[in-house]
Amino acid sequence: MQNKLQLPAVMVIFGGTGDLTHRKLMPSLYNLFYQGLLPDNFAVVSVGRRDLTDEEYRNQVKESIEKFARFKLDEELWNKMKEVIYYVRFNFDDDDGYVHLKEILSDLDNKYNTAGNRLYYLAVSPEYFEVIVDKLDVHKMDLEENCVRRIVIEKPFGRDLASAAYLNEQITRVFKEENTYRIDHYLGKEMIQNIMVMRFANSVFEHLWNNRYIDNIQISSTETVGVENRGGYYENAGALKDMVQNHMFQLLTLTAMEPPVNLETESIRDEKVKVLRSLQPVTEKFVRENMVRGQYGRGEIGIHNIKGYREEDRVSPESDIETFVAMKLYIENYRWAGVPFYIRSGKRMANKTTEIVVQFKSLPKILYAKDMDLQPSLLVIKVQPKEGIMFQFNAKKPGTGNQIVPIQMDFCQNCSMENDSPEAYERLISDLIKGDSTLFTRWDEVEFSWKYVDDVTRIWRNEKTQFPNYAAGSWGPEAAHELLRRDGRQWWLV
């Protein structure tokens, strides 16, 4: 990626007392500080609605770092870091609060020599995005000559295409597209970044990365947990909007994209958008034949009895929201013509995993393949919880016989030393400071993915599905397995 200089700046976190800030942002900032990867001229101002002093807030941040940071808290380092952390209390729609914040930021510019540069991080509910952006505009905190002003927003980027387009219009009215960073934490995960390196830095893979050698590609993201305390949100989203529209389509585009002309941000993003534009169009027939939705009912995970989705807090007892999605997609270009991409994502599954499985085509029925049931060669990119790459191929079993068995070459980069892999937010905050938006989502990516999901949702809305249709702790509804069986394939569990 581009080697860009770090930006002296004040980072302003709206939602400074929220869960995201305490679990992810502050621990990631500490990890960067620990490694000497923050600019020398840097400060953090957290904005929240709780009545706290700077010292009280810093104590809370310290507790979060002790609990969630990947590096053990060093008292000497913490004593230096805490001096650049400040807390400001006001409601997000309070004009007087922004006036006060502007004065504080000006003072910090003088104190830390941050040159008026701002990184606004909106770690708040989506309903506050427009409010905060509008207030920053009204109080002239968005633009200033010779200063850098960037804004970060978390998913969900809208509820559908119409709301996403409206939100984008309101944000880019104030902040230019190149200064708008839409964060999808999946893109910060170590193995996601490795997909491009593995493909484009190894001729053995890139030469085979097409429909001549690949039979199918499976992209899975499964969780053992349910909706937990997100029932209210999930009732308005479901697995399709919560996972497929963003995370799963990001994995799809990185896996299927053409080689970019260079490693510049926009070149990479251009190729990702081409994948979304090449997806087979959504029709009622296509959805009926190639998409499966599910909702978990009661089940068992280990020794625990698990309640069904309709019994979760803030969930309708007659809910028709899906907690599982499986689909078969085709990318209509020369590289991937005829190769199915199978995608699945679900909650309350048998195992927690995010991985990409590339199944290579089987050999002609000659030589060893003539009389033996050989397993196909597989390349598995493991994203989480284990990070690594596994390659499965056939070899002779030791002994006097001639039995052929699948063996695995398995590389795991976070198995022996967990702290070797940076947290996703750690990488993304570092890129934000540098101004590298490669791992952030451009508007047209959001637009095309929402259009696809909206078309599916519109068709599903007119079809009644019998829920629940899979037990908690299972591998999803039977129809998801049938989706592959009728093609003579299976979901790989590796």
Do 390 and 303 fall within a single domain?
Answer: yes
Longest CA–CA separation in the chain, Å? 84
pLDDT at 2 over 50: no
Do 141 and 194 fall within a single domain?
Answer: no
DSSP label at residue 392: E
What percent of the chain has pLDDT above 70?
A: 96
Domain edge (last residue) among 154, 177, 199: 154
Of 19-28, 204-213, 296-305, 359-368, the least confident = 359-368
pLDDT at 399 over 80: no
Residue 205 belongs to a domain: yes
Q: Which of 155-164, 196-205, 324-333, 420-429 has the highest mean pLDDT?
A: 324-333
CATH of the domain at 241: 3.30.360.10
* Range 123-140 average pLDDT: 94
pLDDT at 419 over 70: no
Do 232 and 339 fall within a single domain?
Answer: yes
Q: How many domains does the chain have?
A: 2
* Range 15-37 average pLDDT: 95
Do 352 and 451 fall within a single domain?
Answer: yes
Q: What is the pLDDT of residues 32-65, one digit of tens each?
A: 999 999 999 999 999 999 999 999 999 999 999 9
Residue 255 belongs to a domain: yes
pTM of the model: 0.90
Q: Tell me the C-alpha distance between 397 and 69, whole Å.
A: 45
Say which of 100, 247, 304, 481 is annotated catalytic.
Answer: 247
Do 250 and 307 fall within a single domain?
Answer: yes
**Reported confidence tier of residue 493, pLDDT bands at 50, 70, 90:** confident
Which carries the bigger pLDDT value, residue 328 or residue 369? 328
Of 14-23, 70-79, 381-390, 411-420, the least confident = 411-420
CATH of the domain at 116: 3.40.50.720
**Reported confidence tier of residue 445, pLDDT bands at 50, 70, 90:** very high
Which carries the bigger pLDDT value, residue 155 or residue 307? 307
Among 432, 446, 440, 449, which Cα is nearest to 268's? 440
Full domain range(s) for residue 480: 187-423+442-485
Residue 201 belongs to a domain: yes
| Residue 9 CA: distances (Å) to CA of 5, 41, 108, 428 | 12, 7, 10, 16
pLDDT the model gives residue 486:
95
Which carries the bigger pLDDT value, residue 134 or residue 6? 134
* Range 311-327 average pLDDT: 94
Q: What is the pLDDT of residues 67-108, one digit of tens each?
A: 999 999 999 999 999 999 999 999 999 999 999 999 999 999
Do 278 and 360 fall within a single domain?
Answer: yes
**Reported confidence tier of residue 364, pLDDT bands at 50, 70, 90:** low
247 is catalytic: yes
Contacts of 421 (CB under 8 A, 6+ apart): 190, 387, 413, 414
* Positions of E strands within 205-346: 214-222, 291-294, 296-297, 299-301, 304-306, 324-330, 340-346
**Reported confidence tier of residue 385, pLDDT bands at 50, 70, 90:** confident
**Reported confidence tier of residue 4, pLDDT bands at 50, 70, 90:** very low
Summary count for the chain: helices (H), strands (E): 18, 18
Q: What is the residue-averaged pLDDT of the chain?
A: 91
Do 150 and 192 fall within a single domain?
Answer: no
- For residue 145, how far is the Cα from the chain centroid? 34
Do 26 and 134 fall within a single domain?
Answer: yes
Do 76 and 216 fall within a single domain?
Answer: no
**Reported confidence tier of residue 229, pLDDT bands at 50, 70, 90:** confident
Residue 63 belongs to a domain: yes
**Reported confidence tier of residue 3, pLDDT bands at 50, 70, 90:** very low
pLDDT at 336 over 50: yes
Q: Which two tokens stand for residue 481?
A: 């397995």
**Reported confidence tier of residue 368, pLDDT bands at 50, 70, 90:** low
Q: Tell me the C-alpha distance between 318 and 312, whole Å.
A: 12
Q: What is the pLDDT of residues 285-318, one digit of tens each?
A: 999 999 999 999 999 877 788 999 999 999 999 9
Residue 278 belongs to a domain: yes
**Reported confidence tier of residue 230, pLDDT bands at 50, 70, 90:** confident
Do 62 and 120 fall within a single domain?
Answer: yes
